[in-house]
Structure formats: structure tokens, C-alpha cells
Structure 1
Amino acid sequence: MRVAIVAESFLPNVNGVTNSVLRVLEHLKANGHDALVIAPGARDFEEEIGHYLGFEIVRVPTVRVPLIDSLPIGVPLPSVTSVLREYNPDIIHLASPFVLGGAAAFAARQLRIPAIAIYQTDVAGFSQRYHLAPLATASWEWIKTVHNMCQRTLAPSSMSIDELRDHGINDIFHWARGVDSKRFHPGKRSAALRKSWDPSGAKKIVGFVGRLASEKGVERLAGLSGRSDIQLVIVGDGPEAKYLQEMMPDAIFTGALGGEELATTYASLDLFVHPGEFETFCQAIQEAQASGVPTIGPRAGGPIDLINEGVNGLLLDVVDFKETLPAAAEWILDDSRHSEMCAAAWEGVKDKTWEALCTQLLQHYADVIALSQRIPLTFFGPSAEVAKLPLWVARALGVRARISIEA
């Protein structure tokens, strides 16, 4: 099978979208398939790679979105269509499509290649968080157009599936995320690391892992700051790092971590808190659970599927998350229940492997390819879909209206 992956984000930028694409590429390689990746280039002076596991990475220019540093955008160029035409994949995998992926969805229709869209980033939610309400409304219109151009949309949680359906998106299937239960494991807990955080050994260690940006809501952890019984550990980097350090001067900020260092950090926590309400899945919660750490998350988005209240953690209402967090943390950290919740956290995710999830994904590929062979796709025509295509995207792709032709 030949798979073209068009990703809104890729290495050296590390986030949930990148992580999922890497796991898919590894599975494709291990099972003898071929792949090509089209992705944004590196920003600033970061080093970018041209290959991964021998698969070619085709780069497009990157621009920043004003006010939203967390969403660098790959600029679609005419070469995107040309690269897809030359590679001639069996299927196009759109990883969290918005601008680059949106353009690729139109290119897929032009080239009569079936496509699957992976819903992963709540762009509309981000827009609201950054007080850009008009952009949020326009975002849903665009997301609907892009996803309905594809033959299937895969969404990671029940909440995201419901939201997509509410906004008129069709052919939605559930596809969650796997976790590396060998890398993230309770056995990675380090007494030495814990002592470096709390030399007294008397405090409970509560942590967060993720990008330090507005949509993550990390400032809500301030409810646990300044306490004599809790040490906050905040892992990550981003535009709000300085602001958060000033807000929580007693917290330990480690910067971004990866590999074994990240796995050891997760396992050395007593409680993990993710306060952001815009997570379509929230891989960080799953990685914490695989490390044997109970979790607290918002009663919104992906965490609703991951946290079994009172068993492996708690869900808090977004509106008063900061205010209710201290009592919730105290309840979980109580010695009478903490060890039992740690065991439940690990037990609930130990079998959710990337291998199993990627096997499901390849079945989705096969189903869509088979369907497209039975029901031929159409070329672009003078339709409502073309009318919704932004002029700058149309020019970049070289799209020209034409009469729809059935095979």
C-alpha cells in the first residue's frame, strides 16, 4: 500500500499530531508499506529532516498565525498537487487538516485519490480561547467543507464525534490513540528525581506535561501553588512560560522533555493534572495513566473518555476548575485510596498499544480504498465545494472549475 500523509505539523515540532504521524509511519514501515509525508518546514533556525525511516518528507513554507503561536501553518503550494500526482498513492491520510491538509483534500478530489481525515485539533476552540470568535465560526465552516471532501473522518473521542456531527460532518468513525506501555510504565518511578524536586520527601508531587500556551489552561494549576504539602512540576515550553513562572514561583519548570527523561518524570509524579478543555483526546493523560499516575482533567473533550471518575481520577467542571482543583487533588492523594487509583490508572491503558490502533487504521485505509473502487470519485466541478475554496488556496493549487465527470 502506498500512503501519502499530509500533516499540519511534523518534526522538529513535537506535539500530538506529530506523535501520531510518527507512530503511523513506524507501523507502515514495519508492515512493508510505502509512505510519503508532506508537512510544514521548520521554523526559525530549527533543523528539519528530509526523511524518516527512509520515507521522504516533502516540506512547504511555514508561517505563524497572529496571536496563536501554537498553530504554525504550512503554506499550500502548487507543488503539493504535483507531488501527490507523481507519487500516486492508494490513499491520502490528512493529519489534523486545516490549511495544508485542507488544500490537500481538494487536491485529492482533483486527482481522484481517496482520502481519510484525522480530526485531532480543536481549531475552533483555540480561536475562542484567543478571543477570536469570528474565526471560530468560520473555522467550523471550513472544517466541515474539508472533512466532507474526504471519504471518511476518524475522530478520537465520543465528545469529538458528537461535536463533528453537530456541525454537519459525515462518515465519522472512532479511532483513538495508542500509548507505548513499555516506555511509559510505573517501573520508571525515580526516588532520586523526586528527592531533587522535594528534598524533604514530605510533599506530594503534582505535575503537568504539555505546551505552555493559552489553550492548555495551565494557569488553573495556581490553585495548588504556594502549599507546603504539594510540589508542582510543570513540564513543557511555550509562549506562556514566563507568565506562568511569575504566577507560580514555587513550581518547578523543567522545560520540554522527551524520551526516557519524560517517561521517568511521568512515573515520578503522584498526580497528573491537565486543565485544558480543548483536547480532542489528550495523549498526556493516557501517558500519565500508563505510568501508574491518577489524573484530573476537565469535564470536556477527550478526557471524558479517558478518566473513570473515582477509579483512575476525577473530572472537574471547566467553569470552576481552578477553585475545585485543591479539594479534588487532596481526595485523590489521600493515602486511603491513592495506591488503588494508581493501580487502576495503569490497568486501564496497558493494552491500548499503538500496534493495535494502527492495525485498525490500516483497515480503515483498506475499506475506503475498496469503496472508492466500487463508487468512483468525481473531479472538481462548478459546485458549492469549489465556491467555498478560499481564493488564495485555489490559486496555490491551480484549481480551475470544470464539469463534473463520472468515471
Structure 2
Amino acid sequence: MEHGMSIAIVTETYPPELNGVALTVERAVRYLRERGHRVGVVRPRQSSDKGHDHGQEDAMLVHGLPLPRYPGLQFGLPALLRLLARWREDRPDVVHIVTEGPLGWSALAAARQLDIPVTTDYRTHFQKYSGYYRLGPLAGIISAALRAFHNHSDVTFVPTRALADEMAQIGYRKLACVGRGVDTRLFSPLRRSRQLRTRWGVGDEHLVVLHVGRLAPEKDPALVRAAFRAIRQLRPDARLVWVGDGPLRADLQRADEGKGDAGERFVGIQRGEDLAMHYASADLFLFPSLSETFGNVVLEAMASALPIVAYDIGAAGEHLKDRGAASVVSEADGPEAFIAAARALALQQETRRRFAANACDIAQELAWPLILGRFEAQLAAFATRQSSIGHVATAA
């Protein structure tokens, strides 16, 4: 649009919270503002907001409640009347909803009532998460609610073509694949640090296995450990570095300490250049999660020139499978195949080097400006149409 768009972005999570969704949304907001668009952020007020200015520019903060099993995070309470009043007074050209919580439902209802085009993101398999938190009987209800939510929007953005196909088969309509990006200036093999490896107690000849992510059941850290112990039978010099925190960290550390010299190090949450240095200073990346819609950490590992073992879903399935850039394991083959792939790659130095170089090259094609440019173009297309756009077929 000639003079820029007015965009309302609604999200349950945003910095100073630290997770993949929050950081990705902040990057999109910053990009859109730099492109001359006016972006308002609607999100829950967090206790950590004090002293931070993240998202305070043109922000609407709503009340929230603690999110179970995710300390420090909240979900936004319904805010239909506030949103109606705000958007009647200052009508956005398009509303983009990142998360499907009560706040997201309120935003969807308000946008529909005011006849404002509304787009949504599909980022989390909440119905799959239910099985990890003893809520399996609710999976069907959660799945139906998510489908209803997204089908009431004008388009749902998904990160991979495979996910778009999977969702279409179970009744999702109006899907568009815009992908995800990676900061190739931040995540780079040039950040490899001998000093950091020395702190880990390893030299150039040692093998460092890395896992980055939330230490929670849905990420399957038990399989990371099983694969590492299988590697260590062949490579006693191997070390495992855990980057991240979560509800399973204490149990994982206790189990590690009980094994004597188990070769594991827990370094907690890392950010920015420190995180990039951890990626680049490792030698092998394990990512066994089956609950991901994408897996941003896979792109970060790729850009850091790390050989990767992962299942054929999300980023690995979209960008690495059949491209000679990783050991991508079929989900149907299960944990045994994942462990076998990790063991094999630990012994194959030349294969690791080839995978690392190819993955790094592929990551250069996924720099954020290209991905966010697609996102901007999609928003612009919907902002210039009437809400009857729901009748227009969407390219998936």
C-alpha cells in the first residue's frame, strides 16, 4: 500500500519472554515498522515487562493468567469489548493473530464483527502436546477448536508445505505457506570458539553433541540422552551440551550426576551471540522432537554449519530431506532409527563435514528479509481486499 498499512498483531507471547514464537513475532514487528507500516501489538501484560520497552510502542496490554507448566508465561484473558472500542476508534487495515488463546479468540471475534480482514498463524500442535501432559482425552476437542478458529480467519499461515498438506486433509481451509527464516549474520560457523570448548573441557579432537531447546516432555530429551549414550559407547571422548531450561532440567541433571562422568554439561538459556557461539562450537546437533510445526533451532544449527540428526518433519523435512545435508529419519522408523543415525554420523567425520557445508548453504536461502517480505506481501494482499476474501481460493 502506498502509504503503508496499519496492522494489529495479537499474540500471547512477546519479549522479554524468551521462546521461538516471541522472538519471531518481535522480528516481524520490527521489520514491518522499518518498512513504514504502523504496527500495534496486543498482548498480555507480563511481570517481566517492568524495565523493558519491548513492544511498548503502540501496544495494548491486557490482563493474563499464568500458563500451566510454563513458569513466567501468561495467556491473555478475553478482551472483546476493549478490542472493539480500540479498533472502532483506530481501525487497522488487517488483524494478524499469532496464537489461539482466549485473547486470540477475542481478536478474531472483534475483527469479524468490524469486518476487518484477519489472518492467523499456525505455530503449535497443541493437540499433540496434550499427550505429553496427560490430557490425551482432550486431543480431539483441542483439534476441533483449533480447526474452527483458523477456518474463521481469511487465511492461515503455515511454515511448511508438508504441514499445509497435512492440515488440508483434516479440514483446514485457506492455507498459505510463507516459511520461516534465520539470521545468517548472527548464526554462523565463524563464531566457533576454542575458548568456549575449553570451558566445556574439550579440545579440537573431541566430539561435542548439542541440543538446544526447552527441556520438556514434548521435546523428547530422553531420546537425546539415549542417542548420546549410544554415541559414547563408540566415542568415549564425546560430550553432550544442553542449552535451555524447562521442567525436566532438574531430573536430567540428577540422572547425569548419578552416572559419575556422564560427559554432559547443562549451560542453561543462552541468548544472542552467546547462543550463536554455542551452536558454532559444537560438532553434531540432535533434534528428536515430533511435536514441532517447524523447529527454528534446526535453521539456527544449519546456519551455524552443524551436521544434524532430526525427524522428517518441520524444518528438517522441508529443507534438509533428500538434499545431502543431514541425517533425516522417518518418523515411522522411530527412536531406534534416530539413535542409529546419530551413532553412524558420530563416526563419519567426512559425512559430517559435507552435511555441515550443505546445510549452511541452504540456510543462506532462508535469510529473514526474504521470508518476511513474503509475509508482508500476504498482509498487503488481504489489507486491500474486502472481508469477502474468504471466498477467494488461497494458494498453499
Asked if Structure 1 and Structure 2 have the same fold, meaning a TM-score greater than 0.5 normalized by the shorter chain, the answer is yes
Give the corresponding residue for 2:30: 26
Match of 2:244 among 225, 236, 240: 236
Q: In 2 relative to 1, CA 82–302 (structure 1 residues): closer, same or farther, beyond 3 Å?
A: farther
Q: In 2 relative to 1, CA 155–106 (structure 1 residues): closer, same or farther, beyond 3 Å?
A: same
Q: Work out whether residues 132 and 218 of structure 2, in 8 Å CA contact, stay in contact via their aligned partners in 1.
A: yes
Give the corresponding residue for 2:301: 288
Q: Work out whether residues 160 and 302 of structure 1, in 8 Å CA contact, stay in contact via their aligned partners in 2.
A: no
Give the corresponding residue for 1:98: 101
Q: Work out whether residues 117 and 147 of structure 1, in 8 Å CA contact, stay in contact via their aligned partners in 2.
A: yes
Q: Once the 2 structures are TM-superposed, how far is the Cα of residue 320 of structure 1 from its aligned partner?
A: 6.5
How many angstroms apart in 1 are the aligned matches of 2:51 and 2:132? 32
Q: Work out whether residues 245 and 269 of structure 2, in 8 Å CA contact, stay in contact via their aligned partners in 1.
A: yes
Equivalenced residue count is 375
Q: Work out whether residues 311 and 338 of structure 2, in 8 Å CA contact, stay in contact via their aligned partners in 1.
A: no
Q: Once the 2 structures are TM-superposed, how far is the Cα of residue 349 of structure 1 from its aligned partner?
A: 1.0
Q: Work out whether residues 70 and 213 of structure 1, in 8 Å CA contact, stay in contact via their aligned partners in 2.
A: no
State the Cα deviation string for residues 219-248 of structure 1 (Å, max 9, x = none).
211114452232100101111110121233
In the alignment, residue 22 of structure 1 is paired with which amino acid? E
| Partner secondary structure for residue 37 of structure 1 | strand
Q: In 2 relative to 1, CA 107–351 (structure 1 residues): closer, same or farther, beyond 3 Å?
A: same
How many angstroms apart in 1 are the aligned matches of 2:369 and 2:227? 37
Give the corresponding residue for 1:58: 60
Q: Work out whether residues 16 and 52 of structure 2, in 8 Å CA contact, stay in contact via their aligned partners in 1.
A: no
In the alignment, residue 3 of structure 1 is paired with which amino acid? I
Q: Once the 2 structures are TM-superposed, how far is the Cα of residue 167 of structure 1 from its aligned partner?
A: 2.7
How many angstroms apart in 2 are the aligned matches of 1:134 and 1:55? 42
How many angstroms apart in 2 are the aligned matches of 1:209 and 1:178? 17
In the alignment, residue 376 of structure 2 is paired with which amino acid? L
Give the corresponding residue for 2:120: 117
| Partner secondary structure for residue 336 of structure 1 | helix
Give the corresponding residue for 1:297: 310
Give the corresponding residue for 2:43: 39
How many angstroms apart in 2 are the aligned matches of 1:319 and 1:131? 23
| Partner secondary structure for residue 181 of structure 1 | coil
* Structure 1 unaligned blocks of 5 or more: 379-407
| Partner secondary structure for residue 352 of structure 1 | coil
How many angstroms apart in 1 are the aligned matches of 2:60 and 2:352? 48
How many angstroms apart in 2 are the aligned matches of 1:113 and 1:294? 45
Give the corresponding residue for 2:320: 307
Q: Once the 2 structures are TM-superposed, how far is the Cα of residue 170 of structure 1 from its aligned partner?
A: 0.9
Aligned residues: CA RMSD: 2.4
Q: Work out whether residues 223 and 325 of structure 1, in 8 Å CA contact, stay in contact via their aligned partners in 2.
A: no
In the alignment, structure 1 residue 85 sits paired with structure 2 residue 88: yes
Match of 2:150 among 142, 147, 153: 147
| Partner secondary structure for residue 329 of structure 1 | helix
| Bigger Cα displacement from structure 2, 265-274 vs 245-254 | 245-254
| Partner secondary structure for residue 292 of structure 2 | coil
Matched ranges for 1:303-342 at <5 A: 303-309=316-322, 311-318=324-331, 321-333=334-346, 334-342=348-356
Q: In 2 relative to 1, CA 188–321 (structure 1 residues): closer, same or farther, beyond 3 Å?
A: farther
TM-score (norm 2): 0.88
How many angstroms apart in 2 are the aligned matches of 1:198 and 1:256? 19
TM-score (norm 1): 0.85
The sequence identity of aligned pairs, in percent, is: 30
Give the corresponding residue for 1:404: none
Q: In 2 relative to 1, CA 68–264 (structure 1 residues): closer, same or farther, beyond 3 Å?
A: closer
* Structure 2 unaligned blocks of 5 or more: 392-396
How many angstroms apart in 1 are the aligned matches of 2:314 and 2:299? 14
State the Cα deviation string for residues 242-288 of structure 1 (Å, max 9, x = none).
01212334311111010100011111111111111111111100000
In the alignment, structure 1 residue 199 sits paired with structure 2 residue 202: yes
How many angstroms apart in 2 are the aligned matches of 1:200 and 1:367? 53
How many angstroms apart in 1 are the aligned matches of 2:170 and 2:74? 25
Q: In 2 relative to 1, CA 185–28 (structure 1 residues): closer, same or farther, beyond 3 Å?
A: same
Q: Once the 2 structures are TM-superposed, how far is the Cα of residue 143 of structure 1 from its aligned partner?
A: 1.1
| Partner secondary structure for residue 106 of structure 2 | helix
How many angstroms apart in 2 are the aligned matches of 1:176 and 1:183? 19
| Bigger Cα displacement from structure 2, 77-86 vs 7-16 | 77-86
State the Cα deviation string for residues 168-212 of structure 1 (Å, max 9, x = none).
111101011111100001111111111221335442111111111
Give the corresponding residue for 1:389: none
How many angstroms apart in 2 are the aligned matches of 1:252 and 1:168? 44
Q: Once the 2 structures are TM-superposed, how far is the Cα of residue 84 of structure 1 from its aligned partner?
A: 3.1
In the alignment, residue 150 of structure 1 is paired with which amino acid? S
How many angstroms apart in 2 are the aligned matches of 1:322 and 1:195? 32
| Partner secondary structure for residue 110 of structure 2 | helix
In the alignment, structure 1 residue 162 sits paired with structure 2 residue 176: no
Q: In 2 relative to 1, CA 206–309 (structure 1 residues): closer, same or farther, beyond 3 Å?
A: farther
How many angstroms apart in 2 are the aligned matches of 1:108 and 1:362? 19
